[in-house]
Structure 1
Amino acid sequence: MTVGTEPDQGSDAADTRAPGGRNGGQNRQRSFWKELPLLIIIALVLALLIKTFLLQAFSIPSGSMENTLKVGDRVLVDKLTPWFGSKPQRGEVVVFHDPDGWLADEPTSRPSSVQKALGSVGLMPSADEKDLIKRVIGVAGDTVECKGSGPLKVNGKALDEPYVFPGNTACSTDAGGQFKITVPSDRIWVMGDHRQYSADSRYHQDKPGGGAVPVKDVVGRAVVVAWPLNRADDLPVPSTFGQSGISTAAAAAPGALGLMGAVPLVLWRRRKRWD
């Protein structure tokens, strides 16, 4: 007679109660689906916090920053460093709120309810915000000058600008493109990389701010192109400004970071339950 091939009633009951048994596995599966709403809630809360304090996604609506940024690109903007008093530096690509009605004549998009909801937590670029993206050319106290077709000069130094759109000149020869200004305190002078296709600081000198953007209106620095994937890249400060670029190791979409933060919390909670 072979011993142990047929489990007795007691052993079967023990197997049913065991977490690793057949019914225990089903209970775990059901428990996972019960935990899923908590996982989603935590991910959304973390994404909202990340969007508010760390990173936010923005969509590029025009060609004013080509070829550095193309229409439809999604960039991630660092919102953390301004909280610690960091100010925009020359050469950085920054996102800023419309300072003096620069976009007054631009059509306003009508985002769907889904876009609004996802944009509010950083899972999609905010569709109803009037923001612009340009490169910082001068900071407070700098003298910026364009004469003829260029080169563009900052404090008398001619800039080597390989990022300028191919075929464009560093300075535009129309009335607005010829200037010499000193950037006021707590402001920055910004220009698009597509020089002959960018309504930037040059063309708003008649506004109250004289074309210079208040530092307080700067949302943050664009650190990476996150989408589409075949264009994913960092956005370093060009060497002509005498500064180094940044690493993209810490850059990730707010939604992804929120999910990464939520998963360990839920798994820890589930482990405590089974201990």
Structure 2
Amino acid sequence: MAVGARSGHDGPEERPEQPSASSAAGPSGSGGEPSPGTGHAEGPPVGAAADGGTGDDGPKKPRSFWKELPLLIGIALLLALLIKTFLVQAFSIPSDSMMNTLQRGDRVLVDKLTPWFGSEPERGEVVVFHDPGGWLEGEPTPEPNILQEFLSFIGLMPSSEEKDLIKRVIAVGGDTVECKKGGKVVLNGKPLDETAYIAPGSTPCDDEPFGPIKVPQDRIWVMGDNRQNSLDSRYHQELPGNGTVATERVVGRAVVVAWPLDRWSTLPVPDTFDQPGLSAAAAAAVGPGALGLAGALPIVLWRRKRRTAG
């Protein structure tokens, strides 16, 4: 808001008095010395108005709030649009496929910033992604009202025209994942303890066993936490990608349940994905290295023995 402008000086500029031509002649015009205090300036001092005023209009009045309001709204909308595009966006949970981690009607905040810096989805993260193609085929698209369109524009609600899904990343490019009926999800040979996040009463995959599946690079394998009510990667293996999702289709990672307030919580990666040896890349690097060391050791010992004997 504009602040009232202030004059560069507090009053008329002070300057030495100069005697006028008439006063130079003295009081009687005889050319005598002027009496002290009788001289005066020929014109108004610098900064003074001709009518004797100071030349200042005084502090400017602040602009009316109603004149400022459109500017404030415009700035707020611009910031909201930038935040939605590059930083964070809110999404509404439309189904029960992620219970009890997420419930129908929850609002989650999705981090869209880190993918701009090359960050890839990681195992255990809850991510929002665009329909890879055919996953939501036949699903009705609701007709939004004006309020919903506005909230979508500023990022408080997702666009009704975009068909997005939210699931948990179970495997990333290079991983091998499988699950047999009655068993656990096995990732790179390590069974996962999923009791911390799958819905109570759910089984890991009894409704749709799968694998083993090798996940291609730059793709992810996703599953819902409510396994018996989630049409996830298991149910789309006949589509291109064999049920996997391209990382370029990922909007971002869901980090916070923001609404309703009584369900506010963060969405961290479960500890089961931190167990040692889970990474396929690490296993591949350690395996050949260990085998190479085991094979080289006898040769080194044999060469040392020959040198000692010689």
Greater share of helix? 1
Q: 1:103 aligns with which of 133, 136, 158?
A: 136
Is residue 88 of structure 1 aligned with residue 106 of structure 2?
no
* Displacement after TM superposition at 1:121 (Å): 1.9
Q: 2: distance between equivalents of 1:123 and 1:151?
A: 38
Matches of 2:165 and 2:267, distance apart in 1: 16
Contact kept, 8 Å, 1:144 with 1:154, in 2: the verdict is yes
Structure-1 residue corresponding to 2:87: 54
Q: TM-score, normalised by structure 1?
A: 0.76
Query: How many Å separate the matches in 2 of 1:98 and 1:72?
Result: 20
Measured in 2, the distance between the counterparts of 1:145 and 1:225 equals 30
Larger Rg: 2
DSSP-derived class of the 1:138 partner: strand
* Residues 72-130 of structure 1 deviation map (CA, whole Å, 9 limit, x = unaligned): 00001000100000000000000000002100021111111221122022133323210
2:236 pairs with 1:204: yes
> What are the within-5 Å matches in structure 2 for residues 1-275 of structure 1?
27-28=61-62, 31-161=64-194, 162-172=196-206, 174=207, 176-242=208-274
SS of residue paired to 1:105: coil
Which is bigger in relative contact order (C-alpha 8 A, separation at least 6)? 1
Corresponding letter in the other structure for 2:248:
K
Deviation of the 1:163 alpha carbon? 0.5
Cα drift, residue 18 of structure 1: 7.3
SS of the residue corresponding to residue 64 of structure 2 reads helix
Tell whether the 8 Å contact from 2:141 to 2:160 is kept in structure 1 after alignment. no
- 2-structure distance, mates of 1:125, 1:55: 12
d(CA) in 2 for partners of 1:233 and 1:128?
28
Where does structure 1 differ by over 2 angstroms across 4 or more consecutive aligned residues?
A: 30-33, 123-128, 176-179
Mapped to 1, the partners of 2:58 and 2:203 lie a distance apart of 75
Contact 1:119 1:125 in 2 (8 A): yes
Seq. identity, %: 69
Post-superposition Cα deviations, 1:50-90, rounded to whole Å, max 9, x if no partner, equal: 10000111000000000000000000100010000000000
- Shift, 1:190, TM fit: 0.1
Could you tell me which runs of 5 or more consecutive residues in structure 2 were left unpaired when the two chains were aligned. 1-56, 276-310
Structure 1 residue runs of 5 or longer lacking an equivalent are: 1-16, 244-275
TM-score (norm 2): 0.68
Corresponding residue pairs, total: 220
Q: CA RMSD in A?
A: 1.9
